Structure formats: C-alpha cells, structure tokens
Amino acid sequence: MLRTALITAWALLLLPLGVGAEEKLSALIVDGQNNHAVWPQTTEMMKKYLEETGLFTVDVARTAPQGTDANFEPEFAKYDVVVSNYNGAPWPQATQDALIEYVQGGGGFVVVHAANNAFGDWAEYNRMIGLGGWGGRTEKTGPYVYYNEQGKLVRDEKPGSGGHHGPQHPFVIVVRDQEHPITRGMPSAWMHAQDELYDMLRGPGENMHVLATAFASPEKGGTGRHEPMIFTIDYGKGRVFHTPMGHAEYSMECTGFIATLQRGTEWAATGKVTQELPKDFPNADEVKSRKAAP
Ligand code: ZN
C-alpha cells in the first residue's frame, strides 16, 4: 500500500509537468492452460503487439500446466491492466478474490477469445466479462445476447447452452458505435481474418456496451444473428474490454484484431485511446494481415 501511495503521490506531482507522460502503462498477461494449444504463441504475439505501441511494458504470469495451481498468485494490483489468455482449471480462491477486488477497485481487464470459456461457475467472473461460452454455461448464467436485424440489443432468456461456432472463416465486423475511443475512426465494416465466430454467448451482460458485431451466417453454421465481437463492461470502478476474436495465430495476425487489442487494452488501462488506426487497417472487402515471426 505504501508503494501505491508513493506512486500516486509522484504521479500527482509529475503529471501536471508532463513528466509522468513518459511512464509506460504496465500490463500483465495471464496464461498457462488453454484448450487452444497455440496459447504460448498467441501470448507472445499479444505481448509484442502491446509493446509495439510504445505505451506498455508487459509481464506474463503463468500457471502450472494443469490443475489448480496453488502457487499462482500474481500481484494484479501492480498493473494498470490484466489481459487473460487463460482457459483452464480454477485459480486458488485467494487469487480469484484478488482479481475481483482489483477490477472492482479500478483495474483494467481484457478478455480474449477462449478466456471467455473459463470459469463457467464463477459468478463474479461472469459478471465481470459480461458474456461467455461453454464451461457449463446455460440460461442460469444469463441470457443469450445479440443484435437483431433492427440493430437492437436482444437479451434472450430462453433455455439453452452458451457458446457455439461453425467452421472457421473470414467475416465482417460491423461497428455499432463509431464514437467510442476503441472503435473511433474504424470503417463501419471491416474484414476480420479467418477465425471462429463465437455465437450464443451468455452471461449477466450488465453495464455492457457492444461496440461491434458480426453476422453469424447460417451458411457457415451460425445462428443467423449479429453476435457481439467488441464490447466493454463497466465493473465496479474498473473497465473490461472483451473480444471473442482470436482463435489462432492467423486470426491474431489480422491488422483489425491487432489494432482492436491495442486500443482496447489502452482503454481498459486508462479509459482513453491515444493510438491512431494503422494504415493497413482492413476495409470491408479485404483481409489485411501481418505475418507473425516464425
Ligand atoms: Zn477457438
């Protein structure tokens, strides 16, 4: 606490002089278990994407490869934002409590793809991430939330399981809010690289703001509805940025995914976005990717 108090005091002294602006934001990626075997690479990619902005320093906290890791107790409070690439066994109770306390107290949290499959019976986690899939989620977890053809958010309380996707394919992201810092300046529609299009996501969906959706085409095994693809949740004093995109390395090579992650993480950390959109941001017709280093 003393350290926090000192940092706060310094920030107050330095920010008006503009000196504090040189201090980077600190991000922590949590991983260690995931049903997506590519996770060590996707963590490296996300670390690189965040560092490339020049805004972040990035640490990684990794659990044991299986089971509840009794020694997994990252110091969330040291960071401006925590990014989850974790989908595995429950964390120790103290670590669960620490994450909730951290975000409720004003910390930032970022949920990427299968991180929304994790912890299906952890009620506070579901409140924090808004929506999730699999992990035993049903109507008891919350409604299935989607956009209808009229562009209205629907909360469907009908019974059913949560989380589904058809075969992977490239798909169009439709921006629903072009004023939000994360999506500002994005074209109203842009092509996302090959990915799983998560549909039927369920959860409390409280204090949730959908910034972009994707149409889950029945021809591609989808629901025929517009599924949330970029959204935020206000959780206590904290900000949560959530994207169900990012199944594989080729999905994360999409320049639209990269910019969304970079901006969403900055927003979760500070409530602002200072980054311009990259010149190679996709348009509505064409996937744009940057090959990850081998
Ligand atoms: Zn996946």
In the chain, the percentage of residues whose pLDDT exceeds 70 is 92
First vs last Cα of the chain: how many Å apart? 42
Residue 21 CA, ligand 1 centroid: distance in Å: 37
Residue 195 CA, ligand 1 centroid: distance in Å: 8
**Joined tokens for residue 115:** 């991180």
The arithmetic mean of pLDDT across residues 118-139, rounded, is: 98
Instruction: Point out which residues pair with 215 in neighbouring strands.
Output: 226
Q: Which residues contact 141 (CB under 8 A, 6 or more apart)?
A: 120, 126, 132, 162, 202, 203, 204
Instruction: Point out which residues pair with 235 in neighbouring strands.
Output: 238
> Judging by DSSP bridges, how do beta strands 238-243 and 226-235 pair with one another?
antiparallel
- Cα angle, residue 176 at apex, residues 175 and 180 outer, rounded to 5°: 85
Residue 19 has a pLDDT of 46
Residue 114 CA, ligand 1 centroid: distance in Å: 6
The per-residue pLDDT for range 253-270, each reduced to its tens digit, is 999 999 999 999 999 999
In CATH terms, 25-270 corresponds, of 3.40.50.880, 3.90.280.10, 3.30.479.30, 3.90.1300.10, to: 3.40.50.880
**CB of 210 closer than 8 Å to CB of 176:** yes
Residue 18 has a pLDDT of 46
**Packing angle between helix 39-52 and helix 255-270, nearest 10 degrees?**
70
pTM flag (> 0.75): yes
Residue 35 CA, ligand 1 centroid: distance in Å: 8
